[in-house]
Structure 1
C-alpha cells in the first residue's frame, strides 16, 4: 500500500507542474497538505494499524486542518519567491546578471569576478533558505496532529531544529549524500544509454531519437525509484518528529470529518 500511496502522491505532484502558468506555484501550495497525509499514514503504520490510500488526503478530511496547511504552503511559496527575488536583485546590483544572461545564450564562459559574485549570491540564498526549511520541517505534523496555529508551528519547528541542530545536520548530510549518490547513478545510466543510442544510430535522425529515448527512459527510471523513496523519507521525517515532540499529546480525531 505504501508504494501505491507514493505513486499517487508523485502523480499528483507531477500533474500540478503541468498547470499552465501556475504549476510551480500550486506545487508549493499543496505540498504541506499532502505531506500531512503521508505523516498521518506513517503514524497509523507505526501504531500497527492498517493503512489506506485515502489517508493521503487526510489533511482535507480533518476539520480545521486544510486552511492552516495551505497557509504553510503559502509561507513556503512566499519565502522561495522572496529569496529568489533578493538573489536576482543582488545579481543586478553586482553587475553579474548581464554576464549570466550572455552565458545562458552561448557565451564563452563567465568572467572570474562574475563567477565569484554569483557563487556568493547562491551562498546567501542557501543561508536564507536553511532557516525556512527548519521552520517548515516540523510545522506540518504540528498543524496536523496538534492543531497548532501556522505561525506558532513555524516558530516551534525553528526552535526545535536549533535545539537539535547537530543531530539534524548529520541526518541531513547523510540524506544528501545518499540522494546525491542516487542522482549520480541515474546520470551515469542515462549518459551510458545516450552514448549507446547515439553511436548505434546510423542516421542523424535515428541518433536524435535514440538520445531522446534514453532521456525519457532515464526520467521514467527516476520516477520509479522515487516511489519507494516517498515512504522512506516520510518514515524518517515522522521518526524525527516523534523523537522531538513524542512527549506532547496529540489531538487525535478531534476534528475528524470522515
Structure 2
C-alpha cells in the first residue's frame, strides 16, 4: 500500500465522478442509500443501545456504498447485499470492521458529550435523539456554540474514519493503522479535499436555493418538502458515491490480491 499525493483539482474530479457514477445507476444507488438510512433510523429507535448501535454501523455502511460504487464503475449492477460487504470478507476483517464501528461510536458520543458542556446537552439531544427543533432553540447562543464545538471536534474524527473502512476491507490494515493512514492521506491531500468539500457545499446550497426559488415561483410552499426530500436524497447519495474515488486516488491498489467487487 502506497499513499499517493493528488493535485487540488482532483477534488473537482472526485465530485464529477461521484455524480456520473450515480447517474449510471440512480435507482440502485438511491435504493441502497435509503436502505442504509432506514436501517440506521430503525436501530436508533431501540432504547438505550439503539443510538450507539446505529453509530457503530456507519463505517461498515459507508464501506458498503463504496463497494457499490466500485461495482457500478465496472459496469455491473450493485445488489442490496453489497451494503454488508464489510461483514463478509473473513473473520479478521469482520473483527476489524466491528472494532472500527465501536471506535467511531465512542468518538462520536464523546464529541456530543463535550458539546453538551456548552448548552447542557440540548444540541446533542436534538442531533442524537431527534428532540424538538424550533427557531427559538436554533437562535439560542448556547445552542449555536454547542453546534460549532461539535462541528470543529467532528472534523478530526471524520479524517480518521474517511478511508479507514476501505483500508481495512481492501488492504487488510489493522483498525488503528487504518485510522492513522486515513488521517495522513487526508492531511497530505489537504487542498484536494478542501476543494472537494467546497464543491459539494456549493452543490448542496445551489440545489437548496434552486428549490426555494422554484417553490416561490409556483406559489406553493407545501411543495418544498415534496421537492427537497428526493433532491436531498439524491445529492447525499452522490456525495457518498464520491467517497470511493477519493480512496482509490489516495492509495495504490493492492498488487498481491485483488478482492472481488463487494467481497
TM-score, scaled to structure 2: 0.68
Corresponding residue of 2:30: 6
- Name the counterpart of 1:159: 184
The answer to whether residue 82 in structure 2 is matched with residue 58 in structure 1 is no
CA deviation after TM superposition for structure 1 residue 167, in Å: 1.4
Counterpart CA distance in 2 for 1:67 and 1:223 is: 36
Query: Does residue 75 of structure 2 align to residue 69 of structure 1?
Result: no
1:45 counterpart (72, 88, 103): 72
Higher Rg of the two aligned structures: 1
2:234 and 2:136 mapped to 1: Cα distance? 39
Counterparts of 1:223 and 1:127 in 2: how far apart (Å)? 27
For the structure 1 residues 123 and 228, does the alpha-carbon distance in structure 2 shift closer, same or farther, using more than 3 Å as the test?
closer
Secondary structure in 2 aligned to 1:170? helix
For residues 57-103 of structure 1, the C-alpha deviation after alignment (integer angstroms, 9 at most, x for no partner) is 322322133332233222222222111111211345xxxxxxxxxx9
Counterparts of residues 73-92 of structure 1 (less than 5 Å): 73-91=101-119
5+ residue gaps, structure 1, are: 93-102, 198-213
Which aligned pairs between 1:109-258 and structure 2 lie closer than 5 A?
Answer: 115=141, 119-186=144-211, 196=220, 214=222, 218-226=224-232, 228-229=234-235, 232-246=238-252, 248-249=254-255, 251-253=257-259
Structure 1, residues 113-139: CA drift from partner, whole Å, max 9, x if none?
xx3x65554433322111101111111
Distance 1:152 1:28 in 2: 21
Q: CA deviation at 1:231?
A: 5.1
Three-state SS of the structure 1 residue aligned to 2:258 is coil
Distance 2:152 2:108 in 1: 12
CA distance in 2 between counterparts of 1:170 and 1:59 reads: 29
> Whole-Å Cα distance in 2 between the matches of residues 182 and 67 of structure 1?
40
Partners of 1:72 and 1:90 in 2: how far apart? 28
How far did 1:172 drift?
A: 0.7
Cα distance in 2 for residues equivalent to 1:91 and 1:230: 29
1:18-57 Cα distance to aligned partner (Å, 9 max, x none): 43335543332222222212212222333x3523313233
Contiguous gaps of at least 5 residues in structure 2? 1-24, 121-132
SS at match of 1:50: coil
| Worse overlay, 50-59 or 164-173 | 50-59
Q: TM-score, normalised by structure 1?
A: 0.69
Question: Contact conserved, 1:87 with 1:122, CA < 8 A, in 2?
Answer: yes
Q: Is the 8 A contact 1:36 1:58 kept in 2?
A: yes
Q: Of the candidates 21, 26, 41, which is equivalent to residue 17 of structure 1?
A: 41
**1:203 corresponding residue in structure 2:** none
Quick one: structure 1 residues 104 and 240, their matched pair in 2 at CA, closer, same or farther if it must change by over 3 Å? closer
Structure 2 Cα separation of the partners of residues 84 and 55 of structure 1? 30
1:171 deviation in Å? Answer: 0.9
Aligned to 2:17: none
- 1:186-227 superposed Cα distances (whole Å, 9 cap, x missing partner): 45666788x747xxxxxxxxxxxxxxxx3xx65454443355
